[in-house]
Structure formats: structure tokens, C-alpha cells
Structure 1
């Protein structure tokens, strides 16, 4: 008799790990943008951050999806869902957005 319980647990774990990987990737991107804006060498921040974030994400997706296309797909789905969550979490407050909209883009 097939054991469907453990399979669904594996799917949930793959989705959760994908979400964590996505949160690390996109949260790291948000952190990098804020750090690089204040740095005298922003290109270095972006390059190193990109390499580290990509290495972590690829290693995680490869580890989760090794041998199972369904697990890899669910991991990638969690990664994309984490992007939406990070976008909402890092969205500026409405008052800050109103102040920022009054500043000319070249100022």
C-alpha cells in the first residue's frame, strides 16, 4: 500500500525550503540595495551579493530537487512565493511613499 502521508510531507518540506531560499535571496537583495546606496563601492556590494545569493539558492534547489522533479518544482514555487512576500514586507509605508513622490527623480 502506498504511503501518501510521507510524500505530502516531502512536498510541504520542498515548498517550505523554497520559501526560505527565496526569502534569503530576495531579502538579501533588499539588504544589498540599502547597503550599497551608502557605500563608496556599490558595484562590489552588488557583485559579491549576487554571487553569494545565487550560490545559496542554486545549492538549495539542487539539494531539494535531486532526483525528484516534483520536489524541484515545488521548491521553485516556494521561491517565487517568497518573492511576493518579501515585496510586500519591504514596501515603503504610504507616508514615506508620498514624501518620496514629491522629490524630483534627479535630486
Structure 2
């Protein structure tokens, strides 16, 4: 029973880590492009998000149970969050009409 609780806790932790990572990525793209130094925003955000996720997966190793199973459950939660985030973010079709207008002068 204790191992099942560790796996469930690891899965939920992976989901939360994924929500932090992809939510931070979404926020950075929305606000970083309109800032004065977008490169600094993107580099800082990447370092912060990767550091937080790596630390989170490191702390998952301290949970009771087999460490590879705990990490696999956390990774599964992270991937589930990635799939949900990409589905939510990719709901609209991109407008590519401006590309056709610019390329209309070509032979």
C-alpha cells in the first residue's frame, strides 16, 4: 500500500512539475516577445524552469519505493501534462495569408 501511495504521489508531482514547466513556457512566450530584452527573458525562463523540474525529479527519488518506478511515474505525469498543454495551446489555426501575399510577386 505504501508503494502505491508513493507512485500516485509521484504521478501527481510529475503533473505539477509539467504544469509549472509548460505554464512558464506559455507565460514567457506571451510576455517575453513584447519585452525590451526577449533573449534575457527566454534564457532566464529556460534556466529557471529546467532547474525547478530537475530539482523536483531529484526530490522524487526520496519517496518510498523503487526509484526507477517513482521516476517513471513522475515522467508519465510530466508527459501527460505536455499532451494536455499542447492540445490546449494548439486549438487555433495559424493565419498564413500574409505569407501568400508576400510571395505573390515571385514567378
TM-score class, shorter-chain normalisation, is 0.7 to 0.9
**1:48-79 superposed Cα distances (whole Å, 9 cap, x missing partner):** 10111011101110001237221011111111
Q: How many residues align?
A: 99
Match 1:58 to one of 50, 54, 59 = 54
Match of 2:85 in 1: 86
Runs of 4+ in 1 over 2 A off after TM superposition: none
1:32 and 2:31 are equivalent in the alignment: no
**1:83-107 superposed Cα distances (whole Å, 9 cap, x missing partner):** 11111122243xxx25x232328x7
Match 2:44 to one of 48, 52, 55 = 48
The structure with the larger Rg is: 2
**How far did residue 11 of structure 1 move?**
0.6
Match of 1:102 in 2: 97
Structure 1 unaligned blocks of 5 or more: none
CA distance in 2, matches of 1:42, 1:65: 35
Normalising by structure 2, we get a TM-score of 0.81
